[in-house]
Amino acid sequence: MPMFTSGKVAATPFFIENGPQGLDLIRQALMQLPPNETALTPGWLGASNDDRIRQYGIAPGHEIPVQHISADPRTPDRLLARYYFWTHDPARAAILSHRPTHEHFRLDAVDVVITLLETGQILALASSRTPEHLSAVESGLAASLSGAVARFDQPTMLHLGRPDFFLWAIEWIENGPSIGEVSLLEGSSLATLDGFSRGSTIHHTVDSSRPVVLNAIANGETLGPMRLHVRIDSLPAKIVVELHLDGSFVVLTSETHYSIHAGVANKSMRAVEDVAFFLIPLLRSQYESDIDWSDSRRDSYIAKARQRLVDLYSGPDGT
């Protein structure tokens, strides 16, 4: 289910252009368009652990309004909203043609976190990477925020820059120190794309001790997305997240753990906010400021990968 409050969660960052300049104004506008089950018209409420999602012929199981959540040391002021809509199921309609029409429609929902940046831009996170869900959010924002446009096609500050980021992450896991209070523990999955646009995925440990990883590095294959295991010492917490180049991500909540002392009420929601507002900005800043990487360490790392392949596959006489 594409929600921030339960299960494995995905997030896609985007800007909202031409929206009201103020979270309270945005909240008021969203609340003017609640979902209506009788008319099957979509709309906005707050987020909850709603077990009615993906059921047929049913209304949302709550009337919680869009929430305005105050800033904390890691996270800015933000809104948490859920866009409810009904999806027609043609196969079900054909089988249950004798039943009332509303029973042919499945209740769906997408969560959206909205915050204002110091630049005046409106940054949002949608709880899905699926085009159909993102299209629904786009329609919902356009209907409720007059003149507003959801810009999924415009990179945000969560964009990781270049696929080289993932090569840097592999090298940093092996050789780099902690980044402040964050330690990159390991990579456990890495997608690669060779020069002939043939894709593959490396599972389990991703480091230069594995020939398949060495081969991808030595051949200059395009890397990413990548699954990272990170530790945040100050919480403390261990977060497992799949990072995509465009700044979207997937949190694996079954492998993500917060200390009981962190006082986390909802692990899924907290992990999404920690990744979006703390972890990705920290990693991106470290990558962009790592001059030694771009000046020499990158080339040296690639050269070592190539030499290790030669050593691995050469015969006893070096041929």
User: Which tokens go with 279?
Assistant: 């972890």
Contact of 178 with 234, CB cutoff 8 Å: no
Helix extents (H) in the chain: 23-31, 90-95, 131-144, 164-175, 211-218, 267-274, 280-289, 291-292, 298-313
Summarize pLDDT for 102-132 with one digit per residue, the tens.
789 999 999 999 999 999 999 999 999 999 9
Q: Does 235 have pLDDT greater than 60?
A: yes
Whether 1 has a pLDDT exceeding 70, the answer reads no
The two tokens of residue 166 are 């993932």
Cα 38 from chain centroid? 33
pLDDT at 303: 97
- pLDDT of 96 above 90: no
pLDDT, averaged across the chain: 93
**Amino acid 264: pLDDT:** 84
Query: Is the model more confident about 96 or about 67?
Result: 67
Give the per-residue pLDDT at 36: 94
pLDDT for position 145: 95
What pLDDT score was predicted for residue 23? 97
Residue 199 contacts residue 192 (beta carbons within 8 Å):
yes
Q: How far apart are CA 283 and CA 285, in angstroms?
A: 5
Dump pLDDT digits (tens) for 170-189: 999 999 889 999 999 999 99
Confidence of residue 289 (pLDDT cuts 50, 70, 90): very high
